[in-house]
Structure 1
């Protein structure tokens, strides 16, 4: 039976007078690929941050891998993020003075853990960059740099991989290569991926597309193509406030 890698129950998050999330309940099954979309200001990034333990909701609960985050101390929350959660952002956030393998090893070093060379090599192989391990970011293309960032997120073998516009800085062809990698990790390795995106083509790689509107979960689509996603987004953006 499939279990939930992440679960949000009645999650609300406000910033001053703005309600970013309004009683959101959402289950993200293990081994699935979920895309989160919505008009600007709909709460997509806040949803990702709360689900990943980067931000605390005002009310409701968030559970990652069976552990409820609500009552955790900052230290325990930090440890959980290091051990169970991976992040990939639009910006690659690589250290320019370090090689690809040194950048990939960084999360383990920061956690004070031993860095098995085989683990680092495996992560680079997963993203097709085993032959670029000694190259620094300045010697790599944008797509290769994002692959290094992806390997860095995978080196801890996270239960959930969160992506915030992970292909936003890439050209179309390179972006599709990275999306293909994410899709393959879900299909072959059972990785759980949750990705915020504004791009219907990117969303079409997911098993399910969840649409947020005004901080609430609206519709969900499964097994759809980019044209269907784009048409749905157009309707949402044209809807009166």
Structure 2
């Protein structure tokens, strides 16, 4: 199934990812074609082992496809050296993970500013402070991760991912380690980033409620995109689609 739109922030063409060789080879992605438009929120769902995390890793340049082409913001990742690929990720991509991945020794403010320092870019006056304010943590700037709740740590991670205004933000189960209240706040922030700042977001999730915040939901099974749902009406509609996949 090919998902196509006019204008793309992320493009996968015939992307296949195989792990292992010979009889032990496993095809995690099987000739996947996906195009994701800018300024949209896309959720990726599927049963365990469907290939959704592999799709995200290949799309974000964290893993190389065995074959096919991946492009981010018009830049093809195919054939890039590791150094060039790192540069693309640093300049065009933001990441949010389930485990937060904050640096324990750094304050919230320092964690948020880290991508700019790594890219050797001087933050604009107030840039880091503004990002913390946008995620509701202006008063926690000097706190270290151990002094923050899980939800607050994830909000710092979102601020860190967005501070450089990446072309695409990839989120891998961003609410997976959070309680209901913190999850809703994180999802609200992601949705706001799309609506207010025209951010492109691609999120892997197992949660229909989380996916309901997206503009489009892609459903994977056996390494292929087998269904898509535009403008979902709610979690129940998504859950029904997921149930059908799991009955396959």
TM-score range, shorter chain: over 0.9
Q: For residue 172 of structure 1, what is the aligned residue in structure 2?
A: 180
Cα distance in structure 1, aligned partners of 2:67 and 2:6: 27
* Runs (4+) off by over 4 Å: none
Match of 1:14 among 18, 27, 44: 18
Q: Are the aligned partners of 1:34 and 1:194 in contact in 2 as well (CA < 8 Å)?
A: yes
State the TM-score, normalizing by the size of structure 2: 0.93
**Runs of at least 5 residues in structure 1 that lack an aligned partner in the other structure:** none
State the shift of 1:229 in Å: 0.7
Q: For residue 135 of structure 2, what is the aligned residue in structure 1?
A: 127
Q: Are the aligned partners of 1:53 and 1:69 in contact in 2 as well (CA < 8 Å)?
A: yes
State the shift of 1:113 in Å: 2.8
State the shift of 1:117 in Å: 4.6
Q: For residue 202 of structure 2, what is the aligned residue in structure 1?
A: 194
Aligned CA-pair RMSD: 1.3
Cα distance in structure 2, aligned partners of 1:4 and 1:48: 16
SS of equivalent residue, structure 2 residue 109: helix
SS of equivalent residue, structure 1 residue 4: coil
For these two proteins, the number of residue pairs brought into alignment is 239
State the TM-score, normalizing by the size of structure 1: 0.96
What per-residue deviation string (whole Å, max 9, x for no partner) do you get for residues 2-28 of structure 1?
521000000001001100000000001
What per-residue deviation string (whole Å, max 9, x for no partner) do you get for residues 72-122 of structure 1?
111111011001000000001112221100111112222333244522112
1:229 aligns with 2:242: no
1:3 aligns with 2:31: no
Cα distance in structure 1, aligned partners of 2:54 and 2:225: 13
Equivalent residue runs for 1:138-157 within 5 Å: 138-157=146-165
Cα distance in structure 2, aligned partners of 1:205 and 1:164: 15
Q: Are the aligned partners of 1:2 and 1:30 in contact in 2 as well (CA < 8 Å)?
A: no
1:108 aligns with 2:116: yes
What per-residue deviation string (whole Å, max 9, x for no partner) do you get for residues 139-188 of structure 1?
21111110000111111110100000000000011101110110111111
What per-residue deviation string (whole Å, max 9, x for no partner) do you get for residues 46-84 of structure 1?
100110011111111011111111021111110110010
